[in-house]
Structure 1
Amino acid sequence: MTTLYELLAGEDNHPALLAPGKPPVTYGQLRENVLKLAAQLNQFGFGRGDRIAIAMINGPELITAFLAAATAGTSAPLNPKYKQEEFAFYYEDTAAKALITSPEGIPAAIAAALPTMTLLTVEADAQGRCSLERAAGQARSATYAPKPVELSLEDDVAMILHTSGTTSRPKRVPLRHRNLFASAGNIRGTYSLSSADITLCVMPLFHIHGIVGSMLSTLSSGGTVVCPAGFNAMEFLSLFETYSPTWYSAVPTMHQMVLARLSKHADVVRKKPLRFIRSSSAPMPGVVRERLEELFQAPQLDSYGMTEASHQMASNPLPPRERKGGSVGIGFGVEVRIMDDVGNLLKPGEIGEVVVRGPNVVDGYENNPEANAAAYTNGWFRTGDQGVQDAEGYLSLTGRIKELINRGGEKVSPLEIDDVLLRHPAVAEALAFAVPHKMLGEEIHAAVVLKGECESAELRAHCAAALAEYKVPKKFHVLTEIPRGATGKLQRINMAKFLQVGSED
């Protein structure tokens, strides 16, 4: 069996979940909690195929509820910071039958609940034992016997997530138990994770990166997940000292905030050595990689993932194997190739679209034949990313195909401009983006957050020293912060609209 319940591989007495102010949860307790909550869901009338929404902040109770919902039915984790209208959309789109939240609740999530939904709350006692209570709505007919619990099968949909639609309606991604099991195993193998490892989970657990990259991969290794209520750079040092993690995974913006907070505490950090630092979900600027490795004295490994592949598709390997700066590495348990527009696989050194296939890749979007026809070619999933592989299979991404800037026929990767700007001592954050242009099609602008005095002319000269003339941003927008999505991703495609920059002559 390759289900999420079977994935919980740790020894009974080994700590599985730790969190500030919470009792430790061992693997034995976690398995008991998951089966108990799954049985309760069965008693309330929810079973295989039923979508169970979850709106909670990070913590052991969320992890337990997620695993139980996936074991009894299908888990649908949602961002607890959504507005009421957003919750209503996702409930309707997933046909959610129930909502699990904490006793204190998420007001917008509760207010948006459909009349047909049952509201459930999950709570842990002082010993970490979890239970569900029905807070509102009627239980469905109890058609599922609580003993034995009707466990999901490997081909059942364990979790339903949505793509982060930037220009269109988000697509539903049905992730089966076998997909998630395979991806967790791939990540475990990539980093040689074991029961001795402790991960500090700073990614939100409504996102594939946090769910698989941090949580499921660690649980599949028998290791320990430290799960604070959320990411807070101000608390990072305290968590680091208290729990002595061996690794953590985050998006580059989080790494940058960790650097800003911990750079003055290098002596403390080096007393608690990490095995490695993992980055995913967005491109890592080279200068940030260099500073992270200097601070932690540990290898920083860029990886590459997306929801449709149950997260990881490629990663740089651990030493002594070669890590290549600027590359997201090689496939582990996943085939990664480059394809042209008509479906031909390209040779090393040729630029095209990144395609993948493997047991972690979903079978297709849910009820969306048009999207599936565009996304799959000859059994390969088209990622929408442009890249190139070298002779050893190391993949370098040159940008999202939709994010590439077409300036008068010259295709420009905004990532290259970001990296150059971040090397200026006065620049804290940078984001290059396209602005419509009547003659060129698109012009290049850049948004920057400064940490010192700097004029646009100086930034332009800095870029001109490292970039071809057509790649130098025409205009710089100085902001106090750059807008990000819920998981810390920079909103490149929408920047021109956000800044209300219209078509230029």
Structure 2
Amino acid sequence: MLSIFDHGRAAACPSPFNMAAHVLARAHLDPLKDALVIIGANHVERWSYGDLERAVRATATGLLELGLVPGDRVLMRLGNTVDFPIAYLGALTAGLVPIPSSSALTEPETARIIAQTAPKLILRDETVACPANAAILSLETLRGFRTLARAPFHMGDPERIGYIIYTSGTSGVPRAVAHAHRAIWARQMMFEGWYGLRPDDRVLHAGAFNWTYTLGTGLMDPWTMGATALIPAPGTAADALLALLARHEATIFAAAPGVYRQLLKSTEPFETHRLRHGLSAGEKLPPRLADGWRDRTGTDLFEAYGMSECSTFISSAPAHPAASETLGRPQPGRRVALLDENGPVPLGREGTIAIDRRDPGLMLGYLDAPDATAARFQGEWFMTGDQGVMSEDGQITYLGRNDDMMNAGGYRVSPIEVEAVLTTLPDMTAVAVTDVLIKEDTRVIAAFYTGPVALDDQVLNAYVSDKLARYKQPRLYIHLSELPMGANGKILRRALRDNFEVPE
């Protein structure tokens, strides 16, 4: 038998359609219910469904009154505040194309995004890096829009472009990924296929507002279901999350594996009497962490696998727990295969994880890059670039990447992008960047380089500080006499990673 798992087809997305209208469709059912609660040790801010819907649609009015028209792009340079999701949904309500971006990006990184996407407007919190631009709208003005009348939802073809997000590619240049409005429709497959989500749930996501994992799993999906989203106030330490889970009666907790790792170091008692389970995504969940969480809380962690081009589509779930050390299986409505150059491989054999190109959650393509888009497809399949093995019941074991991409705290980072910055240093003759294991379950970015002498780490850290987002910056710099090369003259990053030993 071949490694193809067909879990049925998702219902077709209705037309006309608007992503924001879909997310807020339940707001009128109980407008006084908490849609969002921002929680901290000494801070609680509540947004009812009525307040949220009103702020989103009024923001759309303000954006349209500036002269923007449906299809115009809006770059979001906003911080970790509620302004982020309100602006995002407001732009979608108006038929505009929001471009959410990490506040950790530096000014040069942001300038490249502006050059590529040519946004008509930049929504900016002055604390977030951004080059000077005549099209900048201040956060104060943006917030002022909330007193305006509510705009109608701009309805249209669900296949039209809805938003643009960025992901790193193996070329070293971050890719602009264009998604259709229908992408939100596809996320319903996660409700049972991963979350076990119910309208009475209180979902606490440990991430910031301006992380796409939080935006989807922590906000859009609970709101689509009519549940309550709980988000930690800015500056909340990881070790404070345990108390917040109990105090605010969270029923589902979502985080990256690194957060679970930090929480398990705590000696405080875990008071999670209402917690049903936890969710993990962003990087591979080590079995040891899942076991440790179960021992401390009596609840399970359910893992999901996905990517910027298609969000999550393989997962474990309360109704379908994963077999030991597997990712789980394709969600209901998904069709997934493991392929080699000849097509689907036999069950039990390693192949590249691929998803049906007709999946409603799959990207429209890389912006203005038809060749790069076409390169990701093999016939009827979209190729993820990650390796796995499929069992007879569709459970998929993750075997790693088949490229040199790194994972830094849940963010995929291209080594070539980091190397391009470091090679401008005159005292480096060659450099190779990869992620290395420094202790069990913990990987960091390391830069291996050659040159006349070893360079001072403080100098190197200072050099990259304004050129790369913090999560892309190497944590280790290692001077070598030479870098390992293959027969074709290419640097063997995998050899550096495999042969690395933690300095004593």
What TM-score, normalized to structure 1?
0.73
Q: Deviation at 1:60?
A: 2.4
Q: Which runs of 5+ in 2 are unaligned?
A: 1-16, 408-414, 416-431, 442-456, 458-463, 486-504
Aligned match for 1:253, one of 250, 258, 262: 258
Name the counterpart of 1:49. 71
Task: Indicate the RMSD between aligned Cα atoms, in angstroms.
Answer: 3.3
Q: Give yes or no for contact 1:36–1:131 (8 Å, CA) kept in 2.
A: no
Name the counterpart of 1:39. 61
Name the counterpart of 1:186. 189
Map 1:185-264 → 2, pairs under 5 A: 185-190=188-193, 191-228=195-232, 229=234, 232-261=237-266, 264=267
Name the counterpart of 2:420. none
Q: Does 1:83 align with 2:106?
A: yes
Name the counterpart of 1:471. none
Q: Deviation at 1:213?
A: 2.2
Mapped partners of 1:113, 1:445: distance in 2:
34
Distance 1:230 1:355, change over 3 A: farther
Q: Secondary structure at the match of 1:42?
A: helix
Q: Secondary structure at the match of 1:305?
A: strand
Name the counterpart of 2:292. 291
Q: Deviation at 1:159?
A: 1.6
Q: Deviation at 1:294?
A: 1.1
Q: Secondary structure at the match of 1:96?
A: coil
Q: Give yes or no for contact 1:58–1:230 (8 Å, CA) kept in 2.
A: no
Distance 1:450 1:329, change over 3 A: closer
Q: Give yes or no for contact 2:58–2:151 (8 Å, CA) kept in 1.
A: no
Mapped partners of 1:486, 1:328: distance in 2:
29
Q: Does 1:121 align with 2:139?
A: yes
- 1:252 counterpart letter in structure 2: P
Q: Deviation at 1:99?
A: 1.9
Name the counterpart of 1:503. 483
Q: Deviation at 1:322?
A: 3.6
Q: Deviation at 1:107?
A: 4.8
Map 1:302-451 → 2, pairs under 5 A: 302-309=303-310, 311-319=311-319, 321-332=320-331, 333-342=333-342, 344-357=343-356, 358-403=359-404, 446-449=436-439
How many residue pairs get aligned? The number is: 408
Mapped partners of 1:89, 1:389: distance in 2:
40
Q: Deviation at 1:446?
A: 4.9
Give the % identical residues. Answer: 22
Name the counterpart of 1:174. 178
Name the counterpart of 1:470. none
Distance 1:259 1:168, change over 3 A: same
Name the counterpart of 1:437. none
Q: Give yes or no for contact 1:198–1:225 (8 Å, CA) kept in 2.
A: yes
Q: Does 1:24 align with 2:38?
A: no
Q: Deviation at 1:249?
A: 1.8
Q: Secondary structure at the match of 1:234?
A: helix
Mapped partners of 1:61, 1:148: distance in 2:
18
Q: Deviation at 1:230?
A: 5.8
Q: Give yes or no for contact 1:76–1:161 (8 Å, CA) kept in 2.
A: yes
- 1:304 counterpart letter in structure 2: Y
Mapped partners of 1:162, 1:34: distance in 2:
23
The range that moved more, 203-212 or 391-400, is 203-212
Kindly provide the CA deviation profile for residues 88-133 of structure 1, in whole angstroms up to 9, marking residues without a partner as x. 111222212212234xx22522xx1433x13232589xxxxx5339
Distance 1:67 1:318, change over 3 A: same
Name the counterpart of 2:449. none
- 1:331 counterpart letter in structure 2: P
Mapped partners of 1:499, 1:25: distance in 2:
49
Mapped partners of 2:140, 2:378: distance in 1:
43
Q: Does 1:12 align with 2:27?
A: no
Mapped partners of 1:252, 1:372: distance in 2:
30
- 1:373 counterpart letter in structure 2: A
Instruction: Tell which has more relative contact order, 1 or 2 (C-alpha 8 A, sep 6+).
Output: 2
Q: Give yes or no for contact 1:276–1:300 (8 Å, CA) kept in 2.
A: yes
Mapped partners of 2:161, 2:211: distance in 1:
16
Q: Secondary structure at the match of 1:248?
A: strand
- 2:291 counterpart letter in structure 1: E
Mapped partners of 1:43, 1:123: distance in 2:
12
Distance 1:327 1:449, change over 3 A: closer
Kindly provide the CA deviation profile for residues 186-217 of structure 1, in whole angstroms up to 9, marking residues without a partner as x. 22232231221111122234443222122211
Name the counterpart of 2:271. 269
Q: Deviation at 1:450?
A: 8.6
Q: Deviation at 1:277?
A: 0.9
- 1:13 counterpart letter in structure 2: L
Kindly provide the CA deviation profile for residues 16-58 of structure 1, in whole angstroms up to 9, marking residues without a partner as x. 0111335311111111111100011000112321111112233
The range that moved more, 57-66 or 389-398, is 57-66
Mapped partners of 1:232, 1:51: distance in 2:
34
Q: Secondary structure at the match of 2:45?
A: coil
Name the counterpart of 1:159. 163
What TM-score, normalized to structure 2?
0.73
Mapped partners of 2:225, 2:99: distance in 1:
24
Distance 1:495 1:345, change over 3 A: farther
- 1:390 counterpart letter in structure 2: S
Distance 1:200 1:322, change over 3 A: closer
The range that moved more, 57-66 or 27-36, is 57-66
- 2:129 counterpart letter in structure 1: A
- 2:127 counterpart letter in structure 1: I
Q: Which runs of 5+ in 1 are unaligned?
A: 125-129, 134-144, 405-413, 416-432, 434-441, 452-478
